[in-house]
Structure 1
Amino acid sequence: MSDATVVECPHCHTQVPWGPQSPFRPFCSERCKLIDLGDWAAERHAIPAETPDDFDDNF
């Protein structure tokens, strides 16, 4: 039995071994990696943030 860690590709949900044999980890392929990058560039993904109460955008 192998102790290798396996993760799920964030895009297609394929099982990916976490190691040097998977150069695009956590993605299964360069294609899935580039699709995810395009989603970030198109702002389909975002990290939620709150504007501080004392933020002044009229500086």
Structure 2
Amino acid sequence: RFGSCAKDMIDMRHKWFLRSAEPVQQYEFINKEHYIAFQQAINSLLDNTSNDTPTLP
């Protein structure tokens, strides 16, 4: 259960970051490729955790 709780906390933090990130702020990353890789990692994480935590909004 501790692992799933940690996943939920990380998932919520990423969702909050994605909601608060403005298009201009996105390009404050080191470079565009870095941001794209970051987005892909977040998307894969959300896809993996969504199946394990159906109660998340």
TM-score normalised to the size of structure 1? 0.29
Which structure carries more helix by proportion? 2
Task: Give 1 or 2 for the bigger CA radius of gyration.
Answer: 1
Structure showing the higher strand proportion among its residues: 1
Task: With a CA cutoff of 8 Å and minimum separation of 6, indicate the structure with the bigger relative contact order.
Answer: 2
